[in-house]
Amino acid sequence: MRALKVPAIKKRISPVLQFLAVVGIALTASTELRAQVGNWPLAWAQWHNETRDWGGIRTNLSDEGLDLGVLYTQDVAANPVGGLNQSATYGARLEGMAMLDFEKIFGIKGSSLHYIMYQGLGQGLSQEVIGNDFGVTQIFSSDILAIANFSLEHNLLNDQLYLSAGRLAVGDIFARDDTFAYYLNGALNSTPGQLLINQPTFTTYPFNIWGLAGNYTFPGNQYVSLGVYDASVDDLNNAENGFNFRFAPKGNVLMVGQVGVNPGKDDTSKYLPGHYQLGAFYNTGKVDVLGTTTTETREGNWGAYAIARQMIYQEKDLQGLSLWALVTIAPQQAINTQPLGISGGLFYQGLIPNRDNDVTAGAFILGYFSDHLPGQSYELVFEATHRYQFADWSYLSLDFQYVVNPAGNDDIPDAWVFGTEFSVKF
């Protein structure tokens, strides 16, 4: 760390603070220009921007230590067959971010402050029409203005150690693989839906809760991640209160640990690209017993998950065929809605000639319901999708899903779903 010179700091921070005074009032929500682990190959911070340099404003602000970004993503979907009803829905999210680079402002190397907000729009097809548990459109996150991330992040030891604290999504680090973003179903994009169904505080972006998390990467691309989070549902940044900063854990703590390896991450590696991770979690709080009309609870809940992705055929660079699979378990059937979840799929980048950045993908998502929920057996979703990557700042996905046993209930007809997702970054 270099010595701090007070006059220089004042000189450099002044225009940043002036601009933040405006941003804090006018800026509405962003996407993920945030430090994340294993962002391969979709980290949006690596994208170019459609509007490029905003007439020089973006570069000038970045030089002073302030980075900005705006992202708009929408899902349009319809179920002409099956579900509780048949309809079409539009759901979208407008996101805006601001990142303060403390190295440029204060000289604190590797340190930054991230602030992300979003405005939800429209509605979700699963929630409003089909009645199933695995949301067929992932972008819908309620029609509110809310904070998606407010965190202090720091990289140490030549970026081998990453630390993050503040309002975080557990799925920023744990139980994620960025290639799941190719799919529209929310049970994949980006944290396995079975985990969220059992553990509401195992949050996925843009929902967040107070927490402290870190990741250490070893030579050879092995890593270990640990996190501690407030596990009180009342403290969630949820649909009822998008600006919820409440912190009253009442002894409810969610602890998560994960180990993993990224073979083939280096250009010089003899292995094809892959990602393997194994994780477990424990919630110290009390959980309601399923299927009872009383207030019976159990103390403590745990579970585990495994995710594997591997390229098995490579044309060149990232072009080729990859397979993936995931398993989630939460053995205590009395308090876990889906004790077992299994999903798998494949994707091919560059399948269509002269469309090297397009991705064609397929998947299945399966969740078994608890024995304590009579009348609910399993829900199974098949998905096929193709993403047209128009440019590095915009894409359009065409998607088909078939939902079997919505919410595990035989009384709800199986549903066919046709959808699209469009995204553009400014």
Question: Which among 303, 379, 399 has a CA at the least distance from the CA of 133?
Answer: 379
Residue 245, class by beta-carbon neighbours within 10 Å (0-12 exposed, 13-18 middle, 19+ buried)? Answer: exposed
Outline where 186-297 has alpha helix (H): 193-198
Supply 331's token pair: 């053995």
Local structure of 127: helix, strand or coil:
helix
Question: Which among 350, 411, 349, 403 has a CA at the least distance from the CA of 376?
Answer: 411
Neighbours of 235 (CB within 10 A): 23
- Tell how strand 111-122 and strand 319-329 pair up: unpaired
- Residue 320's φ and ψ, nearest 5 degrees, are 145, -170
pLDDT for residue 234? 77
pLDDT for residue 91? 94
**In contact, 148 and 171? CB cutoff 8 Å:** no
pLDDT for residue 42? 34
Q: Where are the beta strands (DSSP E) in 289-352?
A: 297-316, 319-329, 340-349
**How does pLDDT run across 320-374, given as a tens digit for each residue?**
999 999 999 999 999 999 999 999 999 999 999 999 999 999 999 999 999 999 8
* H/E run at residue 147: strand 145-156
Q: Where are the beta strands (DSSP E) in 157-198?
A: 161-168
- The letter for the amino acid at 334 is A
Gap between the Cα atoms of 7 and 321, Å rounded? 55
- Tell how strand 66-81 and strand 111-122 pair up: unpaired
* H/E run at residue 15: helix 6-26
Measured CA to CA in angstroms, residue 175 lies from 20, 193, 302 at distances of 34, 10, 15
Gap between the Cα atoms of 77 and 141, Å rounded? 15
- Residue 114's φ and ψ, nearest 5 degrees, are -115, 135
Neighbours of 134 (CB within 10 A): 30
What is the pTM assigned to this prediction? Answer: 0.85
pLDDT for residue 241? 63
pLDDT for residue 236? 75
Gap between the Cα atoms of 396 and 380, Å rounded? 25
DSSP conformation class of 30: B
- The letter for the amino acid at 281 is F
Q: Which residue has the tokens 């998947």?
A: 363
Low-confidence ranges of the chain (pLDDT < 50): 1-50, 239
Gap between the Cα atoms of 83 and 138, Å rounded? 18
Question: Which among 98, 99, 104 has a CA at the least distance from the CA of 9?
Answer: 104
Supply 358's token pair: 């397009």
Gap between the Cα atoms of 28 and 373, Å rounded? 41
